[in-house]
Amino acid sequence: MKLDGNYFTTKWVSLKRHRAFQKQPILTLFRVISWFMYCQLSSSSVDIKIPKWNCRFLLPPKLKSAGSTGIFIFREYYEPELSVLDTYLTEGKVFIDAGANTGIYTIIAGKLVGDSGTVISFEPGSESFQTLARNVEINQLTNVKLFQSALSEQEGYAKLYHIDNAPNSYSLGGDLNSEANFEEVHTTTIDNVLSREQIEQVDLIKMDVEGAEEYVLRGAISLFSRLKPIVIFEYNPHITSRFKSSPDGAWNFLKELGYEFFQVQPTGEGDLLKLDAPKVGNIVAMPQANPQS
């Protein structure tokens, strides 16, 4: 992989803004250097522990597009949206992880909901799914149901493209590079899985599906007709353009159901920031307490 000066400049600016760096600058820099060196010198997965949630992760030593770098460097400060899980996932809750990758949200959610709760985790990519399954195993989680499928609006099969030919960066929406690698994967819907598994409760859904958010939601029509779970989804018009669909599709779908939209503060602390229009980044959709009729 070729890394130019712009890559390092962009990463340095981003690092300085991250709350992990602001709280623990020396430790964070040490982890950055350690991870870079390890990725250059080893092919073995790294085993890290995060005491906050009493969990472990096996991470493939890859700098880009593997879901490893951020969690290794930032640990409990990985993404501010994890604070939503901390706040709203308690014993007995049900969490859906759409696009689990190596399982960061899956594992943390599994710890939070306990033995009486359930995590339903979807990851279609073969390489990521293997790491996900190992992480569930080493954390001894018996409350996680794993599905090596892509979520969409219908059952079937589809091409899962490796974006930039990275084995851990996936999208059903294709790639501008016509020679991009892909693998054929099974697609399913949230409604069908909930029906087959006889699960009637869902409290929170996190989607990291590279532009397919609207399709995932449309495969959960039955669920949303009965329940209004919290939804965390990514808004990125550039990625959505791979599907030639509206970048506001997921936003509009949830808005019609009476949802309000927020972003988590970069620190992961304090009140959620209300959004009146879509904004690039992760969005938290919350059902209104008393939606207007």
Reported as a single tens digit per residue, the pLDDT across 70-122 is: 999 999 999 999 999 999 999 999 999 999 999 999 999 999 999 999 999 99
- Number of Cβ atoms within 10 Å of the Cβ of 27: 13
Structure tokens at 122: 């979807």
Residue 24 contacts by C-beta under 8 Å, 6 or more apart in sequence?
none
H helix runs in 139-273, sequence order:
190-197, 213-218, 221-226, 237-240, 249-256
Reported as a single tens digit per residue, the pLDDT across 220-253 is: 999 999 999 999 999 999 888 777 778 999 999 9
CA distances from 135 to 48, 79, 90, 205, 234 (A): 11, 19, 21, 20, 24
Kindly tell me if the per-residue pLDDT of 18 is higher than 80.
yes
Contact 146, 132 (CB under 8 A): yes
CA distances from 6 to 10, 21, 62 (A): 6, 20, 19
Q: Mean per-residue pLDDT for 128-154?
A: 97
pTM tops 0.85: yes
Q: How far apart, in whole angstroms, are the C-alpha atoms of residue 278 and residue 293? A: 23
Same domain, 65 and 150: no
Of residues 14 and 289, more confidence is placed in: 14
Of residues 174 and 195, more confidence is placed in: 195
Torsion of Cα atoms, 285 then 290 then 292 then 293, to 10°: 110
CATH code, domain carrying 140: 3.40.50.150
Find the domain containing 23 and state its range.
1-78
Count up the domains in the chain and report the number.
2
* 3-state SS class at 220: coil
Mark which of 78, 97, 116 sits at the end of a domain. Answer: 78
Check residue 136 and give its pLDDT.
98
Same domain, 22 and 83: no
Mark which of 78, 106, 125 sits at the end of a domain. Answer: 78
Q: How far apart, in whole angstroms, are the C-alpha atoms of residue 31 and residue 20? A: 11
Check residue 210 and give its pLDDT.
86
Nearest to 203 by CA among 76, 113, 107: 113
pLDDT, the chain, mean: 90
Reported as a single tens digit per residue, the pLDDT across 34-44 is: 999 999 999 99
**Could you tell me the pLDDT band of residue 176, with boundaries at 50, 70 and 90?**
low
Kindly tell me if the per-residue pLDDT of 183 is higher than 90.
no
Same domain, 196 and 160: yes
Same domain, 38 and 141: no
Kindly tell me if the per-residue pLDDT of 168 is higher than 80.
no
Check residue 1 and give its pLDDT.
46
Kindly tell me if the per-residue pLDDT of 293 is higher than 50.
no
